C-alpha cells in the first residue's frame, strides 16, 4: 500500500481530503431482479442489505452566485441511528480521460437536532426525498441501487410517490485525493454490469436545464 | 542404449512428479480458499482456479503423450518388502499420508488395472461398439462431428448469426432508459422535480409532473392523497421557505467555520 499523497494545504486537523469517485446509471423495474442477481454474484458475499433513507438538502445562499449545499440524511429503517451530514464539492475538472466523476467529499455524523441546528445557522431546506433500495460492497467500492420517491407533504415521509419507473444505480468510492487507479477499477467493474446498466460519468452541471 | 532409456525414464518421471506437485499445490490453495475465505470469494476467481487446474492437467497429458517419454506401461513396480510397521522416511516423504507400507495400501497405490466395475463397463461398451458394425459407427461419428462444428461456428462468429436474431429480442427488452437516468441524476444532484420553491424546471419525456406546485394538476397513479390536499401542500409550501428565509438573512453575518459565501458578507463591518 502506498502512503497517502501529501495534501497541498497544511493539515491542521486530523482529516485527509477525501474525494468521492462516482459513476451513475439507472435500470428499469423489470430488469431490477437480474441486476440484483448479478451484483450478488460479483460483489462481496454478505447478506443483502436494504435501506430506507430520508435525505434533506439544505442551501445557504450567500451574496455571490453559488449557494452552499449540505446534505442531511437519516435512516428511516433505523430511526435511532445518528444523522449523516455530507458536503460534496464541485466536480473536479481534471483530464477528460478520467472515467469517474471526482468531487471533494466531507462526511460527518450528527445528532437528531441537526435540522433545527441548520435552520438556526441560516440554512434553508431546498428539497427532500426518500431513497430506498439495496446496497452492495466490493472492496472499497460501494454500489447502491435505490428507488427515489418524492415527499408530497413536507416532513411526512409516509406519503411518497415514486419519481420514475427506474431505479438509480450508483457506484462510488471514497478515497484520498490523487489515487487515479480507483477510476480504472470502477470502470472495469462497470463493464461487468453492461448491458443491464450503463454506468457513466454524468456531470450534474450539464443536466441543469 | 539401455542407459539412454534409463536416463529418459528418469527424466520423464522427474518432470511428471514436478507437474503433479504443481497440481497438488493448486488444489491445496483452492481448497484453502474455499474453506476459509468463503465470504470474499467471487465467481470469476473460482473460474480462474478451475482454469488453472485444467491447464495443469493438460500439460500433464501433453507430457505423457510426448515422444521422448518412454511408455510407462512397460515398467512394472513390484513391492519387495511389505511390513505393518510404521516407516518414518515414507511418512515424511508423503507428508503423513502413507505412514505404513503394508498389504492394505498396495492394492490402491500400485494398481495398474481399472476397478472391477469400471472394467465391466468398459467390456460392455466395447462389446456394443463391435456389435453395431463399422458403417453405423462411421455415420454416428460424422453426425457428432457435424454437430460440434456447427456449435463452434455459432460460438465463433457472433456477428453473422447472433446479431440478426438477438437484435430484435434486445430491442424489445431494454433494461434501462437514458431519459430516466438523467431525471434521477438531476433529482439527486439538485432536486430537479423535487423542489417546492423553485419554479417547475424542464420536464423530461416521461417525467411525472411537479407535485405541489401545480394546483390540482394531474399526478402519478400512486398518489394516495387527493388533488385537494396537493393544493394545500402547494400553498403551505411557498410560505414555509419564506419564514425560513427571514432568519436566514440575519445570522449570515455571524462568522461561522463553514467556508461559505456568506462568511465574506458582513452587513455590519467590524
The 10s digit of each residue's pLDDT in B25-56 is: 999 999 999 998 888 888 888 999 999 999 99
Residue A148 maps to a domain = yes
CB of A122 within 8 Å of a chain B CB? The answer is yes
pLDDT given at position B97? 81
pLDDT given at position A44? 82
Q: What single string gives the DSSP state of each residue in B22-91?
A: HHHHHHHHHHHHHHHSGGG--HHHHHHHHHHHHHHHHHHHHHHH-TTSPPGGG---------SSB-HHHH
Residue A205 maps to a domain = no
pLDDT in tens, B162-205: 566 666 565 566 778 888 888 888 888 887 877 654 333 333 33
A30 pLDDT more than 70: yes
pLDDT in tens, A116-175: 999 999 999 888 899 999 999 988 899 999 999 988 887 777 888 888 888 999 999 988
Could you give the number of structural domains in chain A? Answer: 1
3-class SS of residue A107: strand
Residue A6 maps to a domain = no
CB of A26 within 8 Å of a chain B CB? The answer is yes
CA distance B268 to chain A (A): 14
Residue A200 maps to a domain = no
Residue A199 maps to a domain = no
pLDDT given at position B244? 40
pLDDT given at position B6? 85
CA distance B239 to chain A (A): 12
CB of A24 within 8 Å of a chain B CB? The answer is yes
Closest Cβ–Cβ partner in B44, B223, B248 for A124: B248
Closest by CA to A116, choosing from A61, A62, A72, A66, is A72
- The mean per-residue pLDDT over the stretch B224-251 comes to 39
pLDDT interval class at B24 (50, 70, 90): very high
pLDDT in tens, A60-85: 888 777 788 899 999 999 989 999 99
pLDDT given at position A144? 92
Instruction: Please name the residue of chain B whose CA is at the shortest distance from the CA of residue A166.
Output: B180
Closest Cβ–Cβ partner in B175, B178, B187 for A31: B175
Residue A95 maps to a domain = yes
Closest Cβ–Cβ partner in A121, A159, A207 for B186: A207
3-class SS of residue A195: coil
φ, ψ of residue A56 to 5 degrees: the values are -120, 135
Residue A22, domain extent: 18-192
The CATH number of residue A142's host domain is 2.40.320.10
Residue A155 maps to a domain = yes
B69 pLDDT more than 60: yes
Residue A176 maps to a domain = yes
3-class SS of residue B109: helix
User: Which chain B residues contact residue A125 at CB under 8 A?
Assistant: 241, 244
pLDDT in tens, A37-62: 888 888 887 777 899 999 999 998 88
pLDDT given at position B150? 93
pLDDT given at position B200? 38
User: Which chain A residues contact residue B243 at CB under 8 A?
Assistant: none
- What pTM was computed for the model? 0.50
- The mean per-residue pLDDT over the stretch B64-83 comes to 81
Amino acid at each position: 500500500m502506498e502512503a497517502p499523497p501529501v495534501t497541498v494545504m497544511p493539515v491542521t486537523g486530523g482529516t485527509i481530503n477525501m474525494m468521492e469517485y462516482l459513476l451513475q446509471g439507472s435500470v428499469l423495474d423489470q430488469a431490477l431482479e437480474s441486476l440484483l442477481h448479478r451484483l450478488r454474484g460479483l460483489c462481496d458475499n454478505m447478506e443483502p442489505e436494504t435501506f430506507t433513507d430520508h435525505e434533506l438538502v439544505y442551501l445557504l445562499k450567500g451574496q455571490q452566485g453559488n449557494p452552499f449545499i449540505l446534505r442531511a440524511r437519516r435512516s428511516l429503517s433505523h430511526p435511532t441511528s445518528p444523522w449523516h451530514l455530507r458536503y460534496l464539492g464541485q466536480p473536479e475538472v481534471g483530464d477528460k480521460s478520467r472515467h469517474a466523476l471526482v468531487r471533494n467529499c466531507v462526511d460527518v455524523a450528527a445528532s437528531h437536532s441537526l435540522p433545527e441546528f441548520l435552520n438556526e445557522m441560516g440554512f434553508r431546506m431546498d428539497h427532500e426525498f426518500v431513497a430506498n433500495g439495496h446496497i452492495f460492497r466490493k472492496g472499497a467500492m460501494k454500489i447502491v441501487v435505490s428507488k427515489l420517491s418524492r415527499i408530497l407533504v413536507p416532513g411526512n415521509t409516509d406519503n411518497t410517490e415514486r419519481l420514475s419507473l427506474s431505479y438509480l444505480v450508483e457506484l462510488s468510492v471514497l478515497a484520498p485525493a490523487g489515487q487515479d487507479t480507483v477510476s480504472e477499477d470502477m470502470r472495469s467493474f462497470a463493464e461487468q454490469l453492461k448491458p443491464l446498466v450503463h454506468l457513466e460519468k454524468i456531470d450534474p452541471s450539464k443536466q441543469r436545464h | 542404449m539401455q542407459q539412454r532409456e534409463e536416463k529418459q525414464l528418469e527424466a520423464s518421471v522427474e518432470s511428471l512428479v514436478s507437474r503433479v506437485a504443481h497440481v497438488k499445490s493448486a488444489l491445496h490453495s483452492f481448497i484453502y480458499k474455499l474453506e476459509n475465505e468463503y465470504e470474499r470469494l467471487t465467481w470469476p476467481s473460482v473460474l480462474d482456479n478451475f482454469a488453472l487446474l485444467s491447464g495443469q492437467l493438460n500439460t500433464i497429458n501433453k507430457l505423457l503423450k510426448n515422444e521422448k517419454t518412454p511408455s510407462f506401461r512397460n515398467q512394472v513396480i513390484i513391492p519387495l518388502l511389505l511390513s505393518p510397521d510404521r516407516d518414518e522416511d515414507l511418512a515424511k516423504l508423503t507428508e503423513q499420508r502413507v505412514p505404513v507400507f503394508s498389504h492394505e495400501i498396495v492394492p490402491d497405490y500400485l494398481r495398474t488395472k481399472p476397478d472391477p466395475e469400471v472394467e465391466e463397463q468398459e467390456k460392455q461398451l466395447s462389446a456394443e461398439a463391435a456389435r453395431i458394425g463399422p458403417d453405423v459407427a462411421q455415420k454416428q461419428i460424422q453426425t457428432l462431428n457435424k454437430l460440434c462444428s456447427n456449435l463452434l461456428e455459432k460460438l465463433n462468429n457472433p456477428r453473422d448469426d447472433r446479431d440478426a436474431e438477438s437484435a430484435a429480442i434486445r430491442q424489445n427488452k431494454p433494461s434501462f432508459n437514458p431519459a430516466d437516468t438523467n431525471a434521477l441524476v438531476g433529482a439527486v444532484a439538485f432536486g430537479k422535480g423535487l423542489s417546492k420553491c423553485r419554479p417547475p424546471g424542464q420536464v423530461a419525456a416521461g417525467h411525472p409532473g411537479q407535485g405541489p406546485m401545480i394546483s390540482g394538476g394531474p399526478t402519478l397513479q400512486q398518489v394516495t392523497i387527493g388533488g385537494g390536499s396537493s393544493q394545500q401542500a402547494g400553498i403551505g409550501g411557498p410560505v414555509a421557505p419564506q419564514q425560513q428565509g427571514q432568519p436566514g438573512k440575519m445570522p449570515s453575518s455571524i462568522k461561522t467555520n463553514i467556508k461559505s459565501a456568506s462568511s465574506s458578507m458582513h452587513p455590519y463591518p467590524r
